[in-house]
Amino acid sequence: MLPGIDSYASDSSYTSEPAPSTAGHPTADTESSEPSPPPMPLPPHNQRFPDPESAINAINELAQPAGYAVIKGRSKKTKSGMVKKVVLFCDRHGEYKPALSDTSRKRKTTSYASGCKFQATLRRQLLDTDTNANTNAWILTVENREHNGHEPSDASTHQVHRKREMTQQMDAIRSQLDLQIPTRHIMTATQARKPDSCLIERDIHNLRAKLNRDFLQGRTPIQALLMELPTDGKWLFRYTLDPEQHVTVLFAMYQKSLEMLKHNPWVISMDCTYKTNRYNMPLLDIVGFTCTGASIYLGWAFIVNEQEETYKIVMVYLLEMYEHLHENDRSFPSAPSTILTDKEPALINAVHAIFPSTKTIICIWHINMNLMKKALPLLRKAIAEARDNGLIEWDGFSLPSNDHRLTKEGIG
């Protein structure tokens, strides 16, 4: 229980004030001589709190369901520099400023300020001067009880309440952000966990941006990547930077892949995958084959482009791996005997330049793909003509409908 709230109802000093409404709206007043109850319940007058932060938190616990929020305003210090008074405002205080439509601003801002004059004060009071520990208390006084210029509003419109909830939900949301879960899915999970959650998508978005900034610590994403590469010895990394310090090649091989290469050094295959990263760097996959024909993943390289000079850098890194294994075991070949590629002249030339004794052949899967791509339209035409001429009677005879989606199994 937060300090202050538990004794709110029994606070005798508050009974001289009109009874607060817990519904957040005015209630019918049977005696016209008494002033109307406040539209939003007031925080506990004359209540003691151990410090201003717990006071603000306790007041906002009460204010959230009532549709308002308080924020810390100016504070006053003693000559010795000790804070002796803290003023609290409604978060709708201040003059309303219309939204700025100036296109030079990055974000359109809307002010919720409506000139609310509600004000309360926390004053430090020394309870016992004989002891020097825990002798301070903060006494709350409501100076202006009127919330004017605004109605009670949903907690999601009060940044203070969203910030408080974010503090409580931080661990759960942070672990979801670490898993790269999209914002809308995090929102759904948060609402399932806490049906009265007041968080909005922007809060999740802002936390994601803050965590990214904290992680980067002023580094560019690529600088951060290179500094965060695992150094536990399980991975072998090599990279090249251009004069502007941009990464042109990032090559990686897992230690266990190196072990597998040691036993299966003869035939490897290379091919690029696309759309794997925000920088549109192609990902060159390096795959090996066992004596039983099974494929094994050997390594990968992000490359800035598919030019011969770039492929050569990757081949030099691969050659380094072969030379390393060859130095440790002279029976290990100093180069693969065959490298399978697609029909990519830049890659084939790079292989020949760095591994002059290695044969290159075009991968059968790519040949089949190309064959089907070129031959399918001709075959379709021939079959249609044969049908028209009555040479084929069976309607079930058909060809794959989309040659771009053929799988390896589909062709083989």
Edge to edge, the sheet with strand 267-273 lists 235-241, 247-254, 295-303, 283-289, 267-273, 338-341, 359-362
Say if CB 269 and CB 336 are below 8 A apart: no
Shorter beta-carbon distance to Zn ion: residue 74 or 79: 74
* Residues ≥6 apart with Cβ < 8 Å to 192: none
The distance of closest approach from Cβ of residue 89 to Zn ion in the complex, given in angstroms and rounded to an integer, is: 8
Q: Which residue has the CB atom at the shortest distance from Zn ion?
A: 90
Shorter beta-carbon distance to Zn ion: residue 40 or 284: 40
The distance of closest approach from Cβ of residue 108 to Zn ion in the complex, given in angstroms and rounded to an integer, is: 24
Residues found near Zn ion in the complex (CB under 5 A): 90, 92, 116, 118, 147
The distance of closest approach from Cβ of residue 116 to Zn ion in the complex, given in angstroms and rounded to an integer, is: 3
Say if CB 347 and CB 280 are below 8 A apart: no
The distance of closest approach from Cβ of residue 11 to Zn ion in the complex, given in angstroms and rounded to an integer, is: 22
How buried is residue 370: exposed, middle or buried, by Cβ count under 10 Å (0-12/13-18/19+)?
Answer: middle
Other residues' Cβ atoms within 10 Å of the Cβ of residue 229: 11
Q: Among residues 44, 47, 57, 48, which one has the least CA distance to residue 17?
A: 44
Shorter beta-carbon distance to Zn ion: residue 116 or 335: 116
Strand partners, 136: 126
Helix intervals (H) in 123-158: none
Shorter beta-carbon distance to Zn ion: residue 112 or 332: 112
The distance of closest approach from Cβ of residue 247 to Zn ion in the complex, given in angstroms and rounded to an integer, is: 53
Say if CB 39 and CB 21 are below 8 A apart: yes
Other residues' Cβ atoms within 10 Å of the Cβ of residue 183: 17
For tokens 């995958």, the residue is 273
The distance of closest approach from Cβ of residue 117 to Zn ion in the complex, given in angstroms and rounded to an integer, is: 8
Shorter beta-carbon distance to Zn ion: residue 150 or 238: 150
Instruction: Name the residue type at position 331.
Output: S
CA 94 to chain CA centroid, Å, is 34
Shorter beta-carbon distance to Zn ion: residue 90 or 318: 90
The distance of closest approach from Cβ of residue 243 to Zn ion in the complex, given in angstroms and rounded to an integer, is: 59
What is the rounded CA–CA span in Å between residue 207 and residue 55? 26
The distance of closest approach from Cβ of residue 114 to Zn ion in the complex, given in angstroms and rounded to an integer, is: 8
Shorter beta-carbon distance to Zn ion: residue 155 or 247: 155
Instruction: Name the residue type at position 50.
Output: P
Shorter beta-carbon distance to Zn ion: residue 162 or 312: 162
